[in-house]
Amino acid sequence: MELPQVQYEVMVGLSSASGAPRLPDLAASLKRDQSQVSAACVELQGLGYVLVEEAPYDELSLGKEGEAYVASPLPERIVLDVLVAQQGRCKVTEVPTFCALNASQVGQSLRWLTQRGWARKEGDTLVLSDAGRAAKGHRTPDENLLVALSGGKPARKDELAARGIDVDAAVALLAPRKGVLNVKPRVDRRVVLTDSGRKLATAGISGRRAVTQLTPDLLTDGAWKNVDLQPYDVTLAAKTVFPGKEHAFQRTLEKVRRVFLEMGFEEIVSPWIESSFWDFDALFQPQDHPARDMQDTFYIAKPERCRLPDEALVERTRRTHEDGGDTGSTGWRYRWSRELAQKPVLRTHTTAATIRALAKHAMPNGECRVANNELPDSTRDQLVTRYSSLDTPRQRPGKYFVIGPVYRRETADYKHLPMFHQVDGIIVDREASLATLLGTLSAFYGKMGFPKVRFRPSFFPYTEPSAEVFLWLEGRQEWVEMGGSGLFRPEVTLPLGITDRVLAWGLGLERLAMMIHGLKSIGDLYFATMPWLREAPLSRA
């Protein structure tokens, strides 16, 4: 009769074995993995050729505290030696002076001294008993067990009993001590041939080789006809493998980048250290705005100042701040300072990068297109005349985004850090509208796995109209604010030479990553433990 190769080897091994070998010993003699031999035995038992006998037993091993007691005697043994040396009596408070135990350890030892009957307490004095004198120089069962299990090697109860140890008494003494003794139930499996199995082995059996894959040699000589393809048992225990992968937050950033690229956006970059001009002034943020104070912004000491862009742009920005310039606005009505605009800062938002992109996206000489917006005809005609002489590249529809870290003087808590990441984006198009903005952001978050998006009217200094973006978080059953968006005001775009509509947004990414990976604190994202980094899924269902 022909059997699968492992089953054949098991039958031959049992035929030559004396008695009923343990399953691990059988696997070792066959030089096979125990899981393969175990599976073969189960199949052969189902056919009635072998019998797998199971016998439960307890396996004993020392815990961390137990290993410590191997190197140093039990506390009650130390106190016993002190009492013997002190002629059988000693005040409890004086015991630490005669040994290495502290007062707390001496107090804990009183329970075991009393339980063993080695001593009794009379007032504040410990008195040695006859049983205690008899125990001097003689190891108790628990002490014998500690010695037998030293070195971290587990042992069976029957093996320890065969060595003359009263295991039950030892376990009763050690079990109440936390962290000293581990008792684990195990099952001993032995395999033996049945009568049918012996008859089959005597009649003659052969093995059919099993392979895990078809090789060219098997296909060439036709040997594939005489082999079995080894099945895989996916329920068997296997070693957990943790492949190398990027940090979960880095994967979120890369997915955000990929989604915007798929939507036709062009990625831009900018320095982490910006001039106050690009970070604040070009966004029509007044120089006396509270957000520009030292309490909210990280200013750089060296260099002391930054270079400003071309003088024409700086002059248009100055006029816009002071009296509105040619934008139709009244401005902020204060004297604009070049020195404040030159101060370097750690950028407070990535919007500085999109403003730089707008400056490169301005209109060419003699070609000016004014958006079909709500400006009066007379004002629009004036703007065409005023901005038609700008020496800038050709203006065209454009879509840009930037991802990067930003810095603010935030108090660190479960959802805030002084450094975090943003994704900013703009769409330059005279046909764009608020509906375009809301639709773009809804499409982005839908691709990120959040189909429920809603917007709420809000106010931001450099956009009008403005809207906050919210996502629906299923796990917490609530709407979570993700960032702001809107249409850039003319005071922002016109000094740059842009007369088309510009849609803009700035969105936080740490909060998005926390929602994707089910984290409750931003600290779990940045100070993640190794198990979480290993087990964090590469994708969400």
Q: What is the reported pLDDT for 233?
A: 78
Span of 61-75, 115-129, 286-300, 345-359 with lowest mean pLDDT: 286-300
Look at 401 and 271; give whichever has higher pLDDT.
401
Tell me which residue of 273, 287, 381, 265 sits closest to 340, measured CA to CA: 287
Instruction: Say whether both 52 and 66 belong to one domain.
Output: no
Q: What is the reported pLDDT for 368?
A: 35
Instruction: Say whether both 81 and 6 belong to one domain.
Output: no
The domain that holds 167 is classified in CATH as 1.10.10.10
* pLDDT mean over 505-527: 87
Q: What is the reported pLDDT for 28?
A: 92
- Is residue 218 a part of any domain in this protein? yes
Q: Which residues pair with 190 in a beta bridge?
A: 22, 53
If DSSP codes are grouped into helix, strand and coil, which group holds residue 519?
coil
Ramachandran area for residue 352 (φ above 0: left; ψ -120 to 50: alpha; else beta)? alpha
Backbone angles phi, psi at 216, to 5 degrees: -60, -35
511, pLDDT greater than 70? yes
* pLDDT mean over 284-298: 83
Which contiguous run of DSSP H or E holds residue 41? helix 34-47
For the sheet with 125-128, list strands across it.
89-91, 125-128, 119-122
Q: What is the reported pLDDT for 72?
A: 85
Side chain identity, residue 520:
K
537, pLDDT greater than 80? no
Instruction: Say whether both 66 and 51 belong to one domain.
Output: no
pLDDT tens, position by position, 8-46: 888 988 988 888 899 999 999 999 999 889 999 999 999
Last residue of a domain, one of 186, 205, 238: 186
- Is residue 373 a part of any domain in this protein? yes
* pLDDT mean over 511-535: 83
| Reported confidence tier of residue 319, pLDDT bands at 50, 70, 90 | very high
Q: What is the reported pLDDT for 295?
A: 66
Q: What is the reported pLDDT for 322?
A: 92
Instruction: Say whether both 28 and 152 belong to one domain.
Output: no
Cβ proximity of 142 and 173 under 8 Å: yes
- Is residue 245 a part of any domain in this protein? no
Instruction: Say whether both 289 and 405 belong to one domain.
Output: yes
- Is residue 243 a part of any domain in this protein? no
Q: What is the reported pLDDT for 453?
A: 95
Q: What is the reported pLDDT for 388?
A: 42
259, pLDDT greater than 70? yes
Instruction: Say whether both 279 and 335 belong to one domain.
Output: yes
Cis amide leading into 56 (omega within 30): no
The domain that holds 324 is classified in CATH as 3.30.930.10
Instruction: Say whether both 128 and 214 belong to one domain.
Output: no
Span of 78-92, 203-217, 349-363 with lowest mean pLDDT: 203-217
94, pLDDT greater than 90? yes
Instruction: Say whether both 311 and 412 belong to one domain.
Output: yes
| Reported confidence tier of residue 540, pLDDT bands at 50, 70, 90 | low
pLDDT tens, position by position, 367-391: 333 333 334 444 444 444 444 444 4
What's the rounded Cα separation, in Å, for the pair 422 and 402? 8
> Do the bridges between strand 119-122 and strand 155-156 make them parallel or antiparallel, or are there none, so unpaired?
unpaired
- Is residue 180 a part of any domain in this protein? yes
The domain that holds 49 is classified in CATH as 1.10.10
* pLDDT mean over 484-507: 93
Specify the long-range contacts of residues 151-154, CB closer than 8 Å, at least 24 apart.
152/61, 152/62, 152/67, 153/61, 154/59, 154/60, 154/61, 154/184
For 58, residues 6+ apart whose C-beta sits below 8 A from its C-beta are 156, 157, 183, 184, 185, 186
- Is residue 244 a part of any domain in this protein? no
For 1, residues 6+ apart whose C-beta sits below 8 A from its C-beta are 200, 203, 204, 205, 206
Instruction: Say whether both 116 and 79 belong to one domain.
Output: yes
pLDDT tens, position by position, 390-419: 444 446 889 999 999 998 887 777 767 888
pLDDT tens, position by position, 95-150: 999 998 999 989 988 988 998 899 999 999 999 999 999 998 888 999 999 889 98
Structural domain span for residue 457: 252-535
Instruction: Say whether both 406 and 524 belong to one domain.
Output: yes
- Is residue 235 a part of any domain in this protein? no
How many structural domains are present in the chain? 3
Distances (CA, A) of 453 to 148, 155, 260, 327: 66, 61, 17, 34
Instruction: Say whether both 528 and 391 belong to one domain.
Output: yes
Query: In the chain, what is the straight-line distance between the N-terminal and C-terminal CA atoms, in Å?
Result: 49
Instruction: Say whether both 36 and 120 belong to one domain.
Output: no
- Is residue 405 a part of any domain in this protein? yes
Mean per-residue pLDDT over the chain, rounded? 86
Cβ proximity of 124 and 90 under 8 Å: no
267, pLDDT greater than 90? yes
Q: Which residues pair with 503 in a beta bridge?
A: 427, 487
Question: In the chain, what percentage of residues exceed pLDDT 70?
Answer: 93
